Amino acid sequence: MSHEHDHDEEMLPEFAKVGQKVPPFTMETFDPIEGGFGEVDLGALRKTGKWVILFFYPADFTFVCPTELADLATRHAELTKLGAEVISVSTDTKFTHLAWKTDERMMADVKFQMAADPTGEVSRFFDVWDYDTGLALRGTFIINHEGVLVSSEVNYYNVGRNGDELVRKMEANNYLKNHPADACPAKWTPGDKVLTPSEKMVGKVYEALND
């Protein structure tokens, strides 16, 4: 996890925290579209104004993991349209990623970059590293266009995630980028009412949503 330092980034905590900036870093990848190896550079993505979704999972050639990545693949185009670069991450090497993508039929539609974190350095920074197994838990992190971590979700090994909810959270965060004074209530989807917090709304949320 190589860093590009500036004054703000040097003040970051040991672990990534929601609401704080994530330092730029790079990881080696297997790129399913190109069929070869490459590198993902968080600093370069930030300069293009892209959001980044990091999708940590325990290991290639396991059981729940291909179902998660296959599900994520069905929502990849929507997430890309919302301005996000989707990157899956595990502690496997880029070579294992290539072999898994080739062998596992559930991975047929995966087109996002598959990043390698064999030392666990990035997994430790996002606090999904399991010291007992050397694997990453199921962590999903959304980093906005300014490099701020705005969403964090961590599941244990035996519970897979839902790509629909990831799209919903990305839609909400994308809306709030252009409407920073608003807030999205539970289950919000585009077109639903939003909240604009003020002293007049205290104790009157029902009325605000049902007028």
Active site residues: 65
Report the 10 Å Cβ neighbour count for 89: 24
CA separation for the pair 155, 12 (Å, rounded): 24
DSSP-assigned beta bridge partners for residue 30: 37, 114
DSSP-assigned beta bridge partners for residue 141: 54, 152
DSSP state, 155? Answer: E
Q: Which two tokens stand for residue 192?
A: 């639903």
CA separation for the pair 138, 156 (Å, rounded): 6
Q: Which two tokens stand for residue 51?
A: 């959001």
